[in-house]
């Protein structure tokens, strides 16, 4: 196709006026944008029209296919193991990928985790792993395939060649107020996951105050949309909707989360992290067709930890490295006796970000030491004067703004409190 095939203004008008775009129009528009043949402001107008008027299932499937076809696809057909991946929509303290990939590999699957970096209050998997001395995020396609065959899992950055249309569209959505569109979110996530070559995929869709999706209805809609896209493109997909009103685990921050992940891999760690990791592992193994293996046992007996060590070493990291402790640790104390009834995930996430664990823009650096440790979680009894939270930072000047983010973020009440379930819903294709 050439720029003469269609008129971008006509494509914008069609979607603006609630019309359906043809497959050819969609493919041409995205291809022309990647090639620089249509302007950012024109595609911005198209994205706004999609935000306001949506894409029907056929349009969305074609839109996603065009994003996949804008670049290369990783060929994992040479592997001797079945492939399965997991994607989380992002939350506070969500270090599950660091545990889950080696756990599922220890059960016999190959797990190609092509991950990203954090932005704002949600942490990025690559930022966490880069707290490990020597670990590298960037691998060639050949290295990815070789590591999957030899170790069983890889966590690394997605190559520039995978779904380049998504990178351009994502940057444009970020500055045009079109991030919230469920079709555009779904196409962004699924185009990258399908392009990475996995045969099956489990989606962890976070719901709650600390998540991108605040309410269950919209989260369910997003989950159903992504599961449908996976089915349309030959990737067996399941979505699990999980609570993100409260931080997951006790640590929120890069090196802090690595240390907590190792604790889980060694048979300990917070109960909620173990529960979610094992639940997602079971979904992944079912999709991969692996039966007769109990992921809880592989976690408890050290098998997953050995795979984790091999994965880190294969990417140049030191699996025995001790995470550095921040030079400044400020303690937030309980103001009364009682039970911690609420610990706001958004407040904790923003505090960790302001302490240096996150970034405001993609090019900003993050601290491997900064973050928040939750010494108590909802349902725990607390005593006046004991530590509820630890704020870790390289710079004491960051503490006041972190404390401001935590203002009103926790409640202590008399008597016992009921805690919400971690897993809210499952969506199967």
- Catalytic residue positions, numbered: 87, 166, 173, 188, 192
Question: Residue holding tokens 């025995």?
Answer: 320
- The secondary structure of residue 109, as a DSSP letter, is -
Contact 163, 195 (CB under 8 A): yes
Contact 333, 381 (CB under 8 A): no
Rounded Cα distance, 92 and 249, in Å? 9
HEC sequence for 120-174: CCECCHHHHHCCCCCCCCCCCHHHHHHHHHHCCEEEEECCCCECHHHHHHHHHHH
Task: Enter the tokens of residue 364.
Answer: 């900003």
Name the CA dihedral angle for 378, 383, 389, 390, rounded to a multiple of 10 degrees.
Answer: -150
In degrees rounded to 5, what are phi and psi of residue 77? -70, -15
**Percentage helix, strand, coil for the chain under 3-state DSSP, each rounded to 5:** 45, 15, 40
Report how far apart, in Å, the C-alpha atoms of 212 and of each of 64, 162, 169, 182, 206 are. 21, 24, 18, 11, 7
Task: Enter the tokens of residue 230.
Answer: 């996976």
DSSP SS3 for 91 = coil
Rounded Cα distance, 260 and 415, in Å? 30
Rounded Cα distance, 179 and 215, in Å? 16
Question: CA triplet 265, 266, 272: central angle to 5 degrees?
Answer: 55
Rounded Cα distance, 183 and 326, in Å? 41
- The secondary structure of residue 71, as a DSSP letter, is S
- The secondary structure of residue 180, as a DSSP letter, is T
């Amino acid at each position: 196709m050439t720029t003469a095939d269609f008129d971008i203004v006509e494509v914008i008008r069609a979607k603006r006026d609630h019309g359906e775009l043809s497959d050819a129009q969609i493919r041409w528009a995205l291809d022309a944008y990647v090639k620089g043949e249509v302007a950012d402001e024109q595609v911005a107008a198209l994205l706004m029209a999609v935000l306001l008027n949506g894409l029907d299932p056929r349009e969305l499937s074609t839109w996603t296919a065009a994003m996949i076809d804008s670049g290369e696809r990783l060929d994992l057909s040479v592997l001797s193991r079945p492939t399965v991946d997991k994607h989380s929509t992002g939350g506070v303290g969500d270090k599950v990928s660091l545990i889950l990939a080696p756990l599922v590999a220890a059960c016999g699957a190959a797990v190609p985790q092509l991950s990203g970096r954090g932005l704002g209050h949600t942490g990025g998997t690559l930022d966490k792993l880069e707290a490990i001395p020597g670990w590298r995020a960037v691998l060639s396609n050949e290295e990815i395939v070789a590591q999957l065959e030899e170790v069983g899992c890889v966590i690394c950055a997605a190559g520039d060649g995978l779904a380049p249309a998504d990178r351009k569209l994502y940057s444009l959505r970020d500055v045009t107020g079109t991030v919230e569109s469920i079709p555009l979110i779904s196409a962004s996530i699924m185009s990258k996951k399908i392009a990475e070559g996995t045969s099956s995929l489990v989606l962890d869709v976070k719901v709650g105050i600390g998540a991108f999706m605040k309410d269950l209805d919209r989260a369910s809609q997003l989950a159903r949309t992504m599961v449908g896209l996976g089915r349309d493109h030959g990737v067996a997909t399941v979505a699990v909707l999980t609570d993100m009103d409260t931080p997951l685990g006790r640590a929120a921050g890069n090196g802090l989360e690595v240390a907590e992940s190792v604790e889980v891999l060694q048979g300990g760690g917070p109960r909620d992290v173990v529960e979610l990791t094992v639940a997602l592992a079971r979904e992944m193994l079912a999709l991969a067709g692996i039966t007769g293996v109990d992921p809880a046992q592989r976690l408890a007996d050290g098998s997953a930890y050995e795979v984790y060590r091999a994965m880190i070493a294969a990417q140049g990291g030191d699996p025995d490295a001790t995470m550095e402790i921040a030079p400044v640790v400020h303690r937030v104390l309980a103001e009364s006796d009682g039970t911690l009834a609420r610990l706001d995930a958004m407040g904790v996430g923003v505090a960790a970000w302001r302490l240096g664990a996150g970034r405001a823009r993609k090019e900003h650096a993050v601290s491997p030491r900064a973050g928040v440790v939750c010494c108590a979680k909802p349902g725990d009894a607390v005593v006046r004067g004991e530590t509820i939270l630890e704020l870790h930072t390289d710079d004491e000047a960051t503490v006041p703004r972190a404390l401001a983010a935590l203002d009103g973020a926790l409640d202590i009440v008399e008597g016992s409190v009921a805690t919400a379930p971690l897993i809210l819903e499952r969506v199967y294709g």
